[in-house]
Amino acid sequence: MALIDLGNTFFTIILVLAIILIFAKGVVIVQPYQQALEIRLGQYKGRLNPGFRWVIPFITDIIKIDLRTQVMDVPPSGGHHQG
C-alpha cells in the first residue's frame, strides 16, 4: 500500500513540475521600447504591446521589434556649402 502512495505522489510532483515549466515557457516580456508580433502556426495573430504577456507555448513564435531611434554618424559630403 505504501508503494502505491509513493508512486502517486511521485507522479503528482512530476505532473505539477511539467505544468509549471509549460506555463513558464509561454511567458513573454515586451520592453517599453519594443513591440512584438505574435505568429501562431505560421499565421500572424496580432501585435503584443509592452508588458508581461503569456502566449501558447511551442506553437507560438514571437518576433520582437526594437522601436528605438538609431543614431548614425554621417560624414560631411564635402560638396556644396551654404554660408
Q: For the segment 4-33, what is each residue's pLDDT rounded down to a tens digit?
A: 566 788 899 999 999 999 999 999 999 999
Residue 79, in any domain of the structure = no
Residue 6, in any domain of the structure = yes
Taking alpha carbons only, the member of 49, 52, 50, 54 closest to residue 24 is 54
Residue 73, in any domain of the structure = no
C-alpha cell at 76: 560631411
- Prediction pTM value: 0.68
Q: For the segment 39-66, what is each residue's pLDDT rounded down to a tens digit?
A: 999 999 999 999 999 999 999 999 999 9
Structural domain including 32 reads 2-66
Nearest-angstrom CA–CA distance, 45 and 27:
17
Q: Percentages helix, strand, coil for the chain, rounded to the nearest 5? A: 30, 35, 35
Query: Looking at residue 44, what is its pLDDT?
Result: 96
Number of structural domains the chain divides into? 1
C-alpha cell at 11: 507522479
